[in-house]
Structure 1
Amino acid sequence: MLLEPSLYSINSILILDSEGKRILAKYYDSSFPSVKLQLEFESKLFKKTSKTNGAEITLLDGATCVYRNVGDLYFYVVGDANENELLLVSALQCLYDSVSQALKRSVEKKTLMDNLDLIFLIVDELCHNGILLESDATALVSRVGARTDDIPLGEQTVAQISLFTISSLWMYL
């Protein structure tokens, strides 16, 4: 069966803690119309992924789920069963890299909770109504206004480097 291509490729973005409790959840379609169904799905997803070692992709309830475990956090990007896994992995990588840059490489539950407003902005800039908007973490972080002073020079955009250079020159004048 040939399916029509669609821009709406992401069904949900989730961040769960080490106990499987929701920290952040954005659902972009009606696969799970109630909070109860969403929590049940998240619980099943966590149970399935927390027992695996190194796997980054799984199928659950007709959905393709890519995930990453970092310390006490689990990052998930969920799409349809027939969705391109590389696109989902790209979204997941951008999400993690953006959060890592915004939190100054301290990706842990406490730091994430202290900056939850920034994390919601990152997710909103990453994906809108299921459409992946950005895959460059540095551009995404600069757009949400996170301070990037500690980001290595090689990972900064030309605009960030120019702004830093200009502000440094003004200090000497």
Structure 2
Amino acid sequence: MNLSLYSIQAFIILDAEGNRVLAKYYHPKSHPDGESKEFLTLKEQKAFEKGLWQKTKKAGDIILYDSHLAVYKHSLDLILYLISKPIENELMIATVLTSLTDALTMLLRNSLEKRAVLENLDLVLLCLDETVDDGIIVDTDATAIASRVSRPRPDTTEIVINEQTIMNAYQTVKERVAQKIIQQM
């Protein structure tokens, strides 16, 4: 048995009709352990995705498809997949997918649907990169993943008011009033 840190071979999001929304394949040409030589071309990737969608369009969690372990989750009009080798721990891969979908749900404000994913593709890819790095699982804490990815909202920026700020404002107003009085004389 050839163990490796490279657990994830692909992350795929397909819509309700089986069309690709997002796909990220890890090590498409060769894997460091010398085993994996799948998904070399876009045509092979699309054929794999189409067959995978046919098998998983109905509810479920985990299947073995085309010598790959596919852990998947339905979300409104999307199906999210993590693909790995069949020797990987199904529970670990399922935990990673759950963490990733939970983080995405937080980031997309409880709207994990095709439109939200496409509009926030940068957040989705950053979230994926914080969870899986080049096929290696790096984090499974959804809150931590979402906090590292989230960006501050411009409408919630706090203005810090302290004693110095108030004194500066008072001094500016005082100088302007003095200038107006001098100009009127």
What range is the shorter-chain TM-score in?
0.7 to 0.9
Residue in 2 aligned with 1:100?
105
Partner deviation per Cα, 1:66-112 (whole Å, 9 max, x = no partner): 00011101000010011110111011111101110000101111111
Alpha carbons of 1:171 and 1:100: their partners in 2 closer, same or farther (altered >3 Å)? Answer: farther
Task: Tell me which of 66, 72, 81 is aligned to 2:71.
Answer: 66
1:2-151 equivalences in 2 (<5 Å): 3-30=1-28, 31-50=38-57, 52-53=58-59, 55-146=60-151
Provide the rounded CA distance (Å) in 1 between the counterparts of 2:17 and 2:51.
Answer: 12
TM-score (norm. length: structure 2) = 0.76
Provide the rounded CA distance (Å) in 2 between the counterparts of 1:26 and 1:147.
Answer: 27
Which 4+ stretches in 1 moved above 6 angstroms?
Answer: none
Provide the rounded CA distance (Å) in 2 between the counterparts of 1:46 and 1:98.
Answer: 23
Q: Which runs of 5+ in 1 are unaligned?
A: 149-166
Partner deviation per Cα, 1:102-136 (whole Å, 9 max, x = no partner): 00101111111111111111111111111001101
Contact 1:64–1:79, Cα closer than 8 Å, also in 2: yes
Letter in 2 for 1:127: V
Letter in 2 for 1:17: D
Q: Indicate the RMSD between aligned Cα atoms, in angstroms.
A: 2.1
Letter in 2 for 1:74: I
Contact 1:18–1:72, Cα closer than 8 Å, also in 2: yes
Letter in 1 for 2:120: N
What secondary structure sits across from 1:74 in the alignment? strand
Provide the rounded CA distance (Å) in 1 between the counterparts of 2:132 and 2:102.
Answer: 15
Provide the rounded CA distance (Å) in 2 between the counterparts of 1:132 and 1:90.
Answer: 11
What secondary structure sits across from 2:111 in the alignment? coil
Letter in 2 for 1:13: F
Provide the rounded CA distance (Å) in 2 between the counterparts of 1:96 and 1:168.
Answer: 30
Aligned-pair identity (%):
39
Letter in 2 for 1:11: Q
Structure exhibiting the larger radius of gyration computed from Cα positions: 2
Q: Which runs of 5+ in 2 are unaligned?
A: 29-37, 164-185
Provide the rounded CA distance (Å) in 2 between the counterparts of 1:88 and 1:9.
Answer: 8
Contact 1:56–1:68, Cα closer than 8 Å, also in 2: yes
Provide the rounded CA distance (Å) in 1 between the counterparts of 2:85 and 2:152.
Answer: 35
